[in-house]
Chain A
Amino acid sequence: ETGVTQSPTHLIKTRGQQVTLRCSSQSGHNTVSWYQQALGQGPQFIFQYYREEENGRGNFPPRFSGLQFPNYSSELNVNALELDDSALYLCASSWGLAGGNTGELFFGEGSRLTVL
């Protein structure tokens, strides 16, 4: 286990609703990145948070937003949910941007979101 925890593990929402996903980073890690993984696909980078500020964003609309707290935990918020938002949302922590010196990302088990 990586020590990265995510909640909730599964949730179901309807189109147009809003969702908040949470991530606790591994002890000692100061950077959190979020990924969307559709079924049968690789993870797609959403954004990264370092020292409580967004530092890098992928090709996702503004209705995807996030926060990082002083303890380095993080939230992913998605507004106006669409059917295509159904996916596994993975959080990864590291010491330093983009995995830091080692480049290694430590992933949580993910939150599986279903939008009906």
Chain B
Amino acid sequence: GQNIDQPTEMTATEGAIVQINCTYQTSGFNGLFWYQQHAGEAPTFLSYNVLDGLEEKGRFSSFLSRSKGYSYLLLKELQMKDSASYLCAVRDQNFVFGPGTRLSVLP
């Protein structure tokens, strides 16, 4: 079966660092993706990991451990505009998305 778990909600303070975890159990694996979705808007691509390790992209970093079925998205120097849902997705033949983590950034 296909199963992806993420925390439902998280809250953090402006300027802080937050880590959003994702665990997955899927029949196949061809990359793990993170998307950002602001309320009422389309998801937009943030990052992609296919090999173990950390990928850094400005204030955003994503980590993958394939043996543990685990990934996290790290957001540094949080800004109010980072308040959004963050979707973890595994690509096999197609994409399987997790339920999303709704992040609220407070002043």
Q: A interface vs B, CB < 8 Å? A: 2, 4, 33, 35, 40-45, 48, 56, 58, 90, 97-99, 102-110
Residues on the A chain within 8 Å of B93, using CB: 56, 97-98
Given contacts A2-B42, A43-B43, A109-B41, contact A103 B91 (CB under 8 A): yes
Interface membership of chain B positions 6-24, coded 1 if the CB is closer than 8 angstroms to chain A and 0 otherwise: 0000000000000000000
Query: Once the chains bind, are B98 and A42 in contact (CB under 8 Å)?
Result: yes
Binding site for A on B (CB under 8 A): 4, 30-31, 33, 35, 41-45, 48, 87, 89, 91-100
* CB pairs A–B below 8 angstroms (29 shown): A2-B42, A2-B44, A33-B94, A41-B99, A41-B100, A42-B4, A42-B87, A42-B89, A42-B97, A42-B99, A43-B43, A43-B95, A44-B97, A45-B97, A56-B94, A58-B94, A98-B30, A98-B91, A98-B95, A102-B48, A104-B33, A104-B45, A105-B45, A106-B45, A107-B43, A108-B42, A109-B41, A109-B42, A110-B42
A107 touches B31 (CB 8 A): no
Report yes or no: A107 in contact with B97, Cβ–Cβ below 8 A.
Answer: no
Q: Nearest CB to that of A57 among chain B residues?
A: B94
Contact (A45, B43) CB under 8 Å given A98-B30, A102-B48, A103-B48: no
Q: Which 8 A-B pairs have the closest CB atoms?
A: A42-B97, A107-B42, A104-B45, A43-B97, A42-B100, A42-B99, A56-B94, A107-B43
